[in-house]
Structure 1
């Protein structure tokens, strides 16, 4: 059975959504090795507010690890043993079946089962009673179960992302499912909102708001909506980054002249400067163990990525290919650094294997920005420009599978992938 914690409803945002930002997920590319899986329509899911089987299928395909096999239109529930030969004949190595049933208290009983069609084995199944409004979360939990069973790694489909939209003169900070759906407003303002950053426990977002006509770093509790300024010093306050233990933040301040990096406690106290240069130092990012800070500096004549001890010390240059490299994001497993590099006149998403320094360009677009890793380090979300406006995309680390989250609500920018919360 699903535990209660497994299906605990994500806390509602204190600011009620003015509207929900709806996305269309377009998946492109073909991976070299993808597991063929069929997701059969769940019994009695027709007419529901969410089509659970379709959400599970889209989640798995977007991961780049799975290739969907046509399951036909016949609904299959979790109780009947499939005809494995038939499913193998369709090219499916695994099959997911399930059902939805309305309970007397108005909740929906969601059940599923995962089958290995090659070995003819039952790989497990679970059940949970959820509110109708939580069917999308239920689907993401199912996709996480399937992903972990078949890959041995934890899925990320039930996690969240935050991002900013600009529609006319109005800026909105949203929190949404990992596929961009179910978005709710965290903050709306006529002034710019930039640089959202999740706290490691997933309960707070730090961001920069210009509502006082200067950049100030705020932290906002997702559950209650309470917010407080944590960096409002003279000059500019920007680029917040949480330490992995959540006890401190790195911020960029101009209080003493040029942009420099400072550390502070999460409550804004105990401010101390960690970079001292005559250059612009910005965009700090912690290593997963908190011992190292990556950042961007033009101290060598052009913007490049450096790293140094989080306690301070002599910086070491990390990027050497090209004359313009910015926006470092370190994978939670510590193996990779995503960043944006300039190729001619194009700004493109790249990834570096930190152990050996090999760099791979992941895109052929022109205006990529703001990369952020999924908490399992297998996907990157970023913003780019397509069709004359900004959109969100995810990509696998080899760049072969991309999903475009095409919003209908203006320009989308500054995405950041949230952590695991349970």
Structure 2
């Protein structure tokens, strides 16, 4: 185990002898939303006509997506019989307290596929805001629901929804490590890689087609790039010593990595297809956990050059670093929001608790977002509106999302097993 992991990463690497008899990890997730935001849009999602015969309850998935965003409050629509062709009694829905209403239907076709349709209404102004229709297989019913939620979110907020994006994370069950790809709500998880050796630091490529990660299958940390659709992978960095902490450049052409090939853990950039790495700077300390700013010009990273782990930034072409974090004596795991406004990271407080922090880069103001004490691996949603992270809650490992004000949190974690290292994928091209 390299010094950098023991210093900066509170992963399973410090405890690979932990409970080999751990219960198996469940692939299915349950979303629990807690908290109330200051401003939420009241919306009714009527049960979709015919969804009793569907293996997925479209209305419930859409409602959970919207509630998890923190911007919507559900208005009870149970027992309502409407579909996309219905013209609702808008006065009735106004009386129920709704500003908007979504209605739709799910019909099973002769070939086994499903026809999913919906329409969105502004019941305050009595306006038809449009709709969509999808013809999908059983396996894509959840995706159709997420796309409906994206449509509603964008129509009512003016911003792009993230519900049809994907996440990746790692689980450890006994001595088995698994890299998963799942929907943004944690459901529909698929195995990308399984190994008896640790898998850490998965990172989505900007095009959402590849994942870089670190594998210990050769008994040392080595960096691979994995094509999600085909399962093919390419060895990117297997130099002497440790190869770790891959971070994609915004153009997807290169990776920032941490290598100890020349002594000590230092930052390099390397072509996304492999090749000879280029060292960014010289340091007598440990430099690790790089994260690009969205413009590609700056790399944030963790270094102990000042005596304890803090967050710094440096030009992506190299040069002299500048310290960024000053609140707290131990700050790690930086990540920058896609809009470039926010820096999220984990800070050790009160001697041993690790808590998620959010810094506004323009002002340097820092806000603590959580009341848990074992937070790890923050990752922004591609619209910069939510943060995903792993933590321990009531003695269980969990994946969580939080709004940037910390007021609304959703648990995505399974019931058993270690669930760690989440990363939120980008928007996918239509």
- Range of TM-score over shorter length: over 0.9
Match of 1:343 in 2: 349
Aligned partners of 2:396, 2:122: CA distance in 1, in Å? 43
The answer (yes or no) to whether the contact 2:100–2:121 under 8 Å persists in 1 is yes
Match of 1:69 among 55, 62, 75: 75
Moved over 3 A (4+): none
Match of 2:109 in 1: 103
| Unaligned ranges ≥5, structure 1 | 1-17
Match of 2:159 among 153, 159, 166: 153
Aligned-pair distance for 1:353? Answer: 0.5
User: Aligned to 2:94, what secondary structure does the other structure show?
Assistant: helix
Match of 2:385 in 1: 378
Q: Deviations over 1:195-240 (max 9, x none)?
A: 0001111111000000011000011111110112100000000000
The answer (yes or no) to whether the contact 2:267–2:288 under 8 Å persists in 1 is yes
Matches within 5 A, 1:90-169: 90-169=96-175
The answer (yes or no) to whether the contact 1:243–1:286 under 8 Å persists in 2 is yes
Q: CA RMSD in A?
A: 1.1
Aligned partners of 2:110, 2:170: CA distance in 1, in Å? 40
Aligned-pair distance for 1:19? Answer: 9.4
User: Aligned to 1:421, what secondary structure does the other structure show?
Assistant: coil
User: Aligned to 1:295, what secondary structure does the other structure show?
Assistant: strand
User: Aligned to 1:323, what secondary structure does the other structure show?
Assistant: coil
Match of 1:405 in 2: 412
The answer (yes or no) to whether the contact 1:197–1:206 under 8 Å persists in 2 is yes
Q: Deviations over 1:5-62 (max 9, x none)?
A: xxxxxxxxxxxxx997101111000000000000000000013110000000000000
Superposition TM-score, scaled by structure 1 size: 0.95
Aligned partners of 2:320, 2:112: CA distance in 1, in Å? 61
| Unaligned ranges ≥5, structure 2 | 1-23
Aligned partners of 1:246, 1:343: CA distance in 2, in Å? 35
Aligned partners of 1:119, 1:310: CA distance in 2, in Å? 50
Aligned-pair distance for 1:270? Answer: 3.5
The answer (yes or no) to whether the contact 2:171–2:419 under 8 Å persists in 1 is yes
Superposition TM-score, scaled by structure 2 size: 0.93
The answer (yes or no) to whether the contact 2:234–2:273 under 8 Å persists in 1 is no
Matches within 5 A, 1:3-402: 21-344=27-350, 345-402=352-409
396-405 or 262-271: bigger deviation: 262-271
Match of 1:4 in 2: none
